[in-house]
């Protein structure tokens, strides 16, 4: 539970935070979804679906995305202040 939030809602919230952070960091670095996919070894449609919150991705893939963006994994998981 996240601050009184039911588990399913907390999971969806985490997915939204990750998607927003991924999109923001990717755009700040001027990297396309296709280029990010190439850097991670993931398919470009997978990266797009993560940004649209359609995927419940593994920690391994979160780590791959963070590494490709040159940020610590927590940069993708922490809510913006």
pLDDT digits (tens, 9 = 90+) for 39-73: 999 999 999 999 999 999 999 999 999 999 999 99
Q: Do residues 69 and 26 lie in contact, with contact meaning Cβ atoms separated by under 8 Å?
A: yes
How confident is the model over 1-28, as a mean pLDDT?
A: 81
At residue 1 the predicted structure's pLDDT band, cuts being 50, 70 and 90, is very low
The residue among 10 and 18 whose pLDDT is bigger is 18
> Would you say residue 43 lies in a domain?
yes
As for how many domains the chain has, the answer is 1
pLDDT higher than 90, residue 3: no
pLDDT surpasses 80 at 10: no
Mean pLDDT of the chain: 91
User: Around 68, how many Cα atoms within 13 Å sit in the side-chain half-sphere?
Assistant: 23
Q: Quick check: 44 and 68 in contact, CB under 8 A?
A: no
Could you tell me which residues come within 8 angstroms of residue 77 by beta carbon, excluding any fewer than 6 positions away? 14, 17, 18, 21, 62
Q: Please check whether residue 41 lies inside any domain of the structure.
A: yes
User: Any idea what the CATH number is for the domain that residue 63 is in?
Assistant: 1.10.260.40
Q: Which domain holds residue 25?
A: 7-71
């Amino acid at each position: 539970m996240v601050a009184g939030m039911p588990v399913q809602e907390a999971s969806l919230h985490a997915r939204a935070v990750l998607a927003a952070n991924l999109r923001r960091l990717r755009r700040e670095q001027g990297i396309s979804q296709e280029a990010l996919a190439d850097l991670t070894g993931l398919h470009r449609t997978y990266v797009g679906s993560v940004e649209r919150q359609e995927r419940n991705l593994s920690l391994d893939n979160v780590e791959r995305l963070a590494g490709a963006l040159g940020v610590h994994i927590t940069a993708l998981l922490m809510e913006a202040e």
